[in-house]
Chains A and B, each alone.
Chain A
Amino acid sequence: MAVSLGQISKELFAQKTRLFLTILAITWGTLSIAMMLSIGQGLRVTFAKAVANTGQNLLIVQQGKTAKLFRGSHKNTAVSFHKQDLQAISKLPDVRYVSPQYSWEAKVTYGTKTNYQPILAVSADYNKIHSIDIQSPGRFISPIDEQQYSRVVVLGNKVLTDLKLKITDPIGKTIFMSGIPFKIIGIMQEKSQISAGRTTPDANTIWIPSATYEMIKNPTSMPSIAITYKDHTNLEVLENQIQRTLAFNHNLNPDDDSIIEFKESAKQQNTFDTFFLGMQIFLGIIGSLTLAVAGIGIANVMYASVKRSTRIIGIRMAIGAKTYHIVMHYVLEAIIATAIGGAFGLLLSGGLIYIIDFIPMNGPLFDTIGKPHPVLSGFVIACVVMILGLVGFLAGLFPALKASRIDPSEALSYE
């Protein structure tokens, strides 16, 4: 390209104040854009995890009412689910896990402490449906518990606090629910969660085996069913299959889509994802503006430099520099300064993000969603590098074009 990068760098580094100010401006701009994008990315990842913790590929099936007449069945009849419905749904090819969801508000007693707590009776697969991990030692409800109608209970990690209980070793202890003794077999590990479908967070929930509940309470119907479907499932097809399965079991119109209600976590996840992507873009734009201001600063410094170097530019032209040599010279100067400032800015951002991880963040917001971790991901770095490149190029281009239009014979007599 007939331009010496080495010589341009030498000239650039010989003017230390100018170089320092330029690099400082770009460092600051890069820092702000990288931090903005990283924080946006951190929020996105944190919220995505919080939503996913409620259950990935989660579909909740709730009872509805008939809207169409069919073979003697009436309109406006409530549809109630039974065990055979659950079994039929579990046999559908796209269904991975199913669990009934019987909710029950019971008086919970441990020793002298008493509280009304929401209780959820579920199958042994429910921990997989809701991404529930159990603290060690301990376990979730097992299929054997279901077979034996075991009176066992798994507690959300905040249930003991709700009961104002301080039990150092809760596993194996007995609590009473509506006067019936249950043995504690597991405590949930803390997790972030944004509730999808139910209002009680998992942390405040008590789980018992659904079979045990059915034996004790003998319920007439199942209010709702939680399903985890397989990846790459077409949700519309699956919902249609479930609707037809239930219509067949209950002798209802298979085209009646009001017999059941669906709640899909995927839709909520998409909404959150879109929202936080938008937020990240917004933060990115703010950061870019800061960087653009830095770019204008560079352009100004470059303009002043071109003005001061008019005579030198004349000399370069006299000894044979063509238009593109002069343009390349100033564009490269700006890009080199931008690259150095950008590298510093990214390093500083990395350091700052590392430090942010040590800052304690508390409060109800962080309890719900977890602590956001800003992420300086490849995506963020790629964005920053692209914007930096553009800013550096433009900041150099305009002063460079001005320089290249200088008349050599006038420039040589310029003092």
Chain B
Amino acid sequence: MNKLIELTNIYKTYHTGKIAFEALKNIDLIIEAGEYAAILGPSGSGKSTLMHILGCLSTPTAGSYLLDNREVSKFSRNELATVRNQKIGFVFQSFNLVPQLNIVDNVSLPLVYRGVGLMQRTKRAKEILAQLGLDTHFAHKPGELSGGQQQRAAIARALVTEPDIVLADEPTGNLDTQSGAEVIKLFETLSASGKTIIIITHDHSVAERARRIIKIRDGKIE
């Protein structure tokens, strides 16, 4: 199989005043293309820090991160932005849609930063929203949608750039059971179509639906 992600000896240290806190210690992790993995851990275990490093939102204090055979741990801010835009789709617990924009504009936003023209990006956003069953809500703003609908819009935004990896941080955390189940179902469908999916969660029932569980505790993979 093709190694999509290869973390070797990753450390992440935060400094608050004079106190140093090691959020991640000596992490080694390989995730192959097409995997559906869950990173499971209680709060404060370092799973969010790991997700930020995997998602190129921050860089490790030490260690190597090969993403699609490129060493990204020393990339500049703008290089990381490009990597995020091209390779990663994020899904967050609190959806994180821009409240002033309707969902078509929200979903097309990553394509704006990629330089795609208005017509093309709108068409693409509408297509993907339609696939996710939101075709009757194009003009709605996030506040006018239910939690489940908002999360589906957020997933549409994650998928619109056709990323290599979908990174989901507690995607069902703010949803009722039924909407949560629908979202998990959606990830399974995506996984079946060959997309690499990584879910970060503290919820065993969510993690168990993945094909691989990576347990993290006190900044270490167990």
Binding site for B on A (CB under 8 A): 2-4, 6-7, 10-11, 14-15, 311-312, 315-323, 325, 407-409, 412-413
| Shortest Cβ-Cβ A-B pairs, 6 listed | A320-B85, A14-B100, A409-B58, A409-B57, A11-B100, A320-B113
Q: Which residues of B lie under 8 Å from residue A15 when comparing CB positions?
A: 100
The answer to whether A7 and B112 touch across the interface, beta carbons within 8 angstroms, is yes
A-B contacts, 16 listed (Cβ < 8 Å):
A2-B115, A10-B100, A11-B98, A14-B99, A312-B98, A315-B92, A317-B84, A319-B157, A320-B84, A321-B81, A322-B77, A322-B82, A407-B58, A412-B52, A412-B57, A412-B92
Q: Which residues of B lie under 8 Å from residue A11 when comparing CB positions?
A: 98, 100-101
Query: Other than the known A322-B82, A409-B52, what 12 A-B pairs have Cβ atoms closer than 8 Å?
Result: A2-B113, A7-B101, A11-B100, A11-B101, A312-B99, A316-B98, A316-B113, A317-B84, A318-B55, A320-B114, A408-B58, A412-B57
Q: Which residues of B lie under 8 Å from residue A10 when comparing CB positions?
A: 100-101, 105
The answer to whether A321 and B113 touch across the interface, beta carbons within 8 angstroms, is yes
Contact of A319 among B52, B100, B105, B110 (CB under 8 A): B110
Contact of B78 among A7, A315, A322, A413 (CB under 8 A): A322
Number of A-B residue pairs at CB separation under 8 A: 79
Contact of B48 among A3, A407, A408, A413 (CB under 8 A): A413
B68-86 CB contact bits vs A (8 Å, 1 = yes)?
Answer: 0000000001100110111
Q: Which residues of A lie under 8 Å from residue B146 when comparing CB positions?
A: none
A228 to B22, CA, bound (A): 92
Shortest CB distance A406–B (Å): 10
A322 to B83, CA, bound (A): 11
The answer to whether B57 and A7 touch across the interface, beta carbons within 8 angstroms, is no
A409 to B110, CA, bound (A): 17
A11 to B100, CA, bound (A): 5
Q: Which residues of A lie under 8 Å from residue B99 when comparing CB positions?
A: 14, 312
Q: Which residues of B lie under 8 Å from residue A323 when comparing CB positions?
A: 77-78, 81
Across the interface, name the chain B residue whose C-beta is closest to A324: B78
Q: Which residues of A lie under 8 Å from residue B157 when comparing CB positions?
A: 319
Q: Most chain-A Cβ atoms within 10 A of its Cβ — which of B58, B113, B114?
A: B113
The answer to whether A320 and B110 touch across the interface, beta carbons within 8 angstroms, is yes
Q: Contacts A10-B100, A409-B58, A412-B92 given; indicate if A317 touches B81 (C-beta within 8 A).
A: yes
Shortest CB distance B85–A (Å): 2
Q: Most chain-A Cβ atoms within 10 A of its Cβ — which of B48, B78, B112?
A: B112
Q: Is B181 an interface residue (CB 8 A)?
A: no
The answer to whether A318 and B58 touch across the interface, beta carbons within 8 angstroms, is no
Q: How large is the interface on B (under 10, 10 to 19, 20 to 34, 35 or more residues)?
A: 20 to 34
Q: Most chain-B Cβ atoms within 10 A of its Cβ — which of A312, A320, A408?
A: A320
Shortest CB distance B105–A (Å): 5
The answer to whether A3 and B100 touch across the interface, beta carbons within 8 angstroms, is no
Q: Is B36 an interface residue (CB 8 A)?
A: no
The answer to whether A7 and B90 touch across the interface, beta carbons within 8 angstroms, is no
Across the interface, name the chain A residue whose C-beta is closest to B109: A319
Q: Is B145 an interface residue (CB 8 A)?
A: no
Q: Is B96 an interface residue (CB 8 A)?
A: yes
A312 to B112, CA, bound (A): 15
Interface residue ranges of B37-87 to A (CB < 8 Å): 48, 52, 55, 57-58, 77-78, 81-82, 84-86
Shortest CB distance A4–B (Å): 5
Q: Is B130 an interface residue (CB 8 A)?
A: no
The answer to whether B112 and A2 touch across the interface, beta carbons within 8 angstroms, is yes
Q: Contacts A2-B112, A2-B113 given; indicate if A412 touches B81 (C-beta within 8 A).
A: no
A4 to B98, CA, bound (A): 14
Shortest CB distance A409–B (Å): 4
Q: Which residues of B lie under 8 Å from residue A412 when comparing CB positions?
A: 52, 57, 92, 96
Across the interface, name the chain B residue whose C-beta is closest to A413: B48
Q: Which residues of A lie under 8 Å from residue B192 when comparing CB positions?
A: none
The answer to whether A318 and B113 touch across the interface, beta carbons within 8 angstroms, is no
A312 to B157, CA, bound (A): 14
Shortest CB distance A248–B (Å): 82
The answer to whether B105 and A7 touch across the interface, beta carbons within 8 angstroms, is yes
Across the interface, name the chain A residue whose C-beta is closest to B167: A318
A109 to B77, CA, bound (A): 95
